[in-house]
Structures are given as C-alpha cells and as structure tokens.
C-alpha cells in the first residue's frame, strides 16, 4: 500500500465477533493503520454487529436465503465493498464458504483465521479434531483465502501446547487468546504492504 494512504478494510462475521473486537481495538489504538469501512454479517442476531455499532462502524446484514445462489449473495456483498473502496476483506468467524467469484474479485486480498496449525485439522472443528487426534501442539493460523477450504498461503501461525486433560473449551480459550494477537498483526503487515506471496510462501518484509 502507498505510504500515507489509509487502507479500507471490511470484516465479515457471523457470531460473537471477538476477533472483530481485537481488530477494532488495534485500529483504534493506531496499531493497524487502516479504517474499518464496513462490517458484514449473514446473521442479524450476531453480537459482532453490536460491537461494530458501538464503535460507530457501518454494518450490513444480508440473509443468504434472499439470494438464489451463493454467487448472487457474494455479488451483493462485493457491490457494497466496492462502494466503500475496500482493499482487504477479513473473515472473522464468517460461517459461509465464499464463492470462486468472490475470490477472483479480491484475489490475495482476503484473509481468514483458523483455530489449528494448517495444513492440519482443516474444517469447522479444528480444536476438537486436534484434541481427538492426540496432537501435542495446535494454535491459530492466519492465511490468505483461495478456492479450497483452509488452503491459501499462510501468513502467521502461533503454536500452543495441548496440555494433558485439556477440554475443548479450555483449549479454545487459549487459542482465541492467541488469535486476538496474531490476526491484528497479520492485518497490520498487509496494510503496511509488507507481505509478498511467492508460490505457497508468504514473505514478510
């Protein structure tokens, strides 16, 4: 990104929005030199919307059932992102797969956080799967989004020890704590223009 230019980001959420809150706090403190231009949700009852409204961030709620196809739904999101000149799309607990059309429109400008050390334990049960497998370490991964689930180039990861007797909720709490650190950091690196994708590797300048 050009020096001195404030990057507009959009955050897509479906739930409580704890990662959204971490991003809001990092923007407010000046750690992330960006503007959260829009928070989008597919769930009108998502607590993330209240977090956004409290921070005076514009929100958009779209019901997937109002659209014939996933691509139509995504096209409506994209139309609103472009109105706001959004340059980075941040998925923060957005519980929908985005279409290839969306990815094509924002290639290498969509990031996601996953609660496991990719490429291990992809999918919606990363914490549970790591525990059941008997893994000794796990932790969050921030990655670019491509057409395959939890597959894009990795930006940052943070390893966390899985303790004997860990429950899913206890492990989830520790993973979330690290998510709230590395997600804002990854966004900061992007908006400062410090990330370069070379094949599957993300090089930090």
Active site residue 114: yes
Indicate which residue of 114, 125, 176, 180 is catalytic.
114
Residue 123 CB coordination number (10 Å): 11
Tokens of 147: 């057409």
Helix (H, G, I), strand (E, B) or coil at 72: helix
Tokens of 181: 């650190």
Q: What's the burial of 31, exposed, middle or buried (CB within 10 Å: 0-12/13-18/19+)?
A: middle
Q: Would you give the distance in Å from CA 189 to the centre of its chain?
A: 14
Contact (Cβ atoms closer than 8 angstroms) between residue 154 and residue 131: no
Known catalytic residues are 114
């Amino acid at each position: 990104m050009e020096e001195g230019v404030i990057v507009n980001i959009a955050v897509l959420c479906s739930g409580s929005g704890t990662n959204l809150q971490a991003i809001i706090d990092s923007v407010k403190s000046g750690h992330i030199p960006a503007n959260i231009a829009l928070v989008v949700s597919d769930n009108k009852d998502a607590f993330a919307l209240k977090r956004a409204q409290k921070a005076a961030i514009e929100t958009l709620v779209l019901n997937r059932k109002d659209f014939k196809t996933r691509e139509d739904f995504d096209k409506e999101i994209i139309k609103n992102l472009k109105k706001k000149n959004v340059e980075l799309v941040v998925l923060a607990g957005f519980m929908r797969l985005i279409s290839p059309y969306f990815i094509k429109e924002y290639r290498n400008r969509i990031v996601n956080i996953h609660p496991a050390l990719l490429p291990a334990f992809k999918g919606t049960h990363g914490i549970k799967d790591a525990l059941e497998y008997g893994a000794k370490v796990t932790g969050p991964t921030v990655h670019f989004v491509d057409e395959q689930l939890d597959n894009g180039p990795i930006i940052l990861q943070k390893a966390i020890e899985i303790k004997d007797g860990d429950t899913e909720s206890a492990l989830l709490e520790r993973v979330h704590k690290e998510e709230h650190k590395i997600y804002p950091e990854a966004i900061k690196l992007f908006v400062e223009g410090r990330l370069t994708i070379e094949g599957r590797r993300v090089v930090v300048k």
